[in-house]
Structure 1
């Protein structure tokens, strides 16, 4: 078992989100974005100045990506929307799937500019979700019968995609076409975690190909090599860590969101920082997210 490195970071945002998720960073404006999915909030943090804004949403958003300096893409339970960054104006762009009982969950933009986005039931109904590939407005289902899609990220060369169903808790990999982000092979198990505490949640891949994964229920960020070997574990001061994102002018810092969803009063009292957003406090070799290509 890999030893856990103690937390040496800081709280970036003390707001306790019920389900903090989907962090992203725009280096052009030094701004981090993330959601409280269940509260229908979009959080905006100018990292250097710590200036904070919170935007109400008419839906449950879970993934945000830059399109260009004036527009963003948001994935939600009502489909994909283009958001004007300055005004917040929303325009429906595409439907992900026609299942009213589902919402979007984890997702990430591939180097080709295509989005991988997972869906799941509002109450995590078994096998209700799927993972989709979105190229422009063309939506293609990739994998079906998924309960909680998570861990979506891509190798630096764009030739490998990683993902998981958190209820199964196997980290999967699949070869993809670097030009399109579409699979060119069958998924295979990269790393198994049956019987271990916690579940594989959001993930991001750094410039060296290491996979940084938030471990829901274990209060850690786990680091895996491309061969599936877990090489490091970093403590997070909230049990339900949800997703990391590289931040800073050199993408050399790591932001981590968390959640208090499902906790009763006693559990929240024992986990007082649950739902806050943190900086891990270590130097990383990250990379910036690609823009979504309309």
Structure 2
């Protein structure tokens, strides 16, 4: 099988400690991403090239566009409404607020306009994390005992969800019912345990393939519906964290990266680690609905 390859280039030289959670706001034509450890929400307007960030008072891992406007911030101990035009932030509900060792991690909106979101230990404590679904304003725990939940994404027809516990190296596929709730047990779908890099964030394209960041390997791989690698994006930095399709035609792939855990020597070798990267693959992404809270 031939594997297509692409080279990612620097898009925004932001040098986040832990860049994560890239999310396209189609209504406002803005890309958002987070520096979880830096407590920042970054944004880019691809049409103008303008970019900046908001400084927050807590760790946030995703800014999800809301159907009624504004964003829902997925934070370390709370979910909050955020108005990008004014910068105002208002707590909406608690999120593992009674557990001081955890913070939020990977999250993505499903085909029903509901949000799957996860938690993990701040120091990646084993089995401290959980996976949740926020459906019409109600938060339900789907799974616990996870260490670093990642790679949350969904098939176009809403029949399957994918996720991984990064430390296992295995991407799992979970069958969903007609309302988007998991059925039975998730099944192993793609195994990276013995390969270079650890599975991190993921996004689906319009052709039914999954794009998966391989943390530590400097790559994002494209996996076909059988979990086989059919494409590969090479980055000049080693810790890509999550890809997302953005732009008016959803044909531009952006990739967040990190410099978390780097020594001074590693930083000297990868000075732009933590920045936002971009690649034009010619492949269209899958449009995601805005988040519905009611």
Same fold? TM cut 0.5? yes
SS of the equivalent of 2:41 reads strand
Alpha-carbon offset, residue 94 of structure 1: 2.0
**1:58-97 map, 5 Å:** 58-68=57-67, 70-97=69-96
| Whole-Å separation in 2 of the counterparts to 1:207 and 1:185 | 26
Aligned 8 A contact 1:25 1:33 in 2: yes
Aligned to 1:268: 267
- Aligned residue number for residue 245 of structure 1: 244
Query: 1:141-196 CA distances to partner (integer Å, 9 max, x unpaired)?
Result: 111110001000000111100000000010000011243x2102210100111221
- What is the CA deviation profile of residues 35-94 of structure 1, one whole-angstrom value per residue up to 9, with x for unaligned ones? 000000000111111111210111100011111363111101022111123112111112
Query: Root-mean-square deviation (CA), in Å?
Result: 1.5
Match of 1:131 in 2: 131
Q: Is residue 197–residue 217 contact of structure 2 (8 Å, CA) maintained in 1?
A: yes
Query: In structure 1, the residue corresponding to 2:124 is in which secondary structure?
Result: coil
- Which runs of 5 or more residues in structure 2 are unaligned? none
Offset of 1:228 from its aligned partner? Answer: 1.4
Equivalent pair of 2:6/2:232 in contact (CA under 8 Å): no
Deviations 1:257-276 (A, max 9, x none): 10000000111112222111
Long gaps (5+) in structure 1: none
Cα contact 1:157–1:178 (8 A) shared by 2: no
TM-score (norm. length: structure 2): 0.95
What's the secondary structure of 2:66's corresponding residue? strand
Counterpart for residue 107 of structure 1? 107
1:292 counterpart SS class: coil
Deviation sequence 1:107-149 (CA, Å, 0-9, x none): 1011111111010010000110010111133111111110001
Q: Report runs of 4+ in structure 1 exceeding 3 Å deviation.
A: 1-4
**Alpha carbons 1:236, 1:280 under 8 Å: kept:** no
Distance 1:280 1:107 in 2: 22
After TM superposition, give the deviation of residue 281 of structure 1 in Å. 2.6
Residue number in structure 1 paired with 2:173: 173
Give the secondary structure class of the aligned counterpart of 1:186.
coil
Deviations 1:218-270 (A, max 9, x none): 01111111221122211012100010111111111100010000000111112
Q: Does the aligned pair in 1 maintain the 2:258–2:273 contact within 8 Å?
A: yes
Distance between the aligned counterparts of 2:178 and 2:163, measured in 1? 16
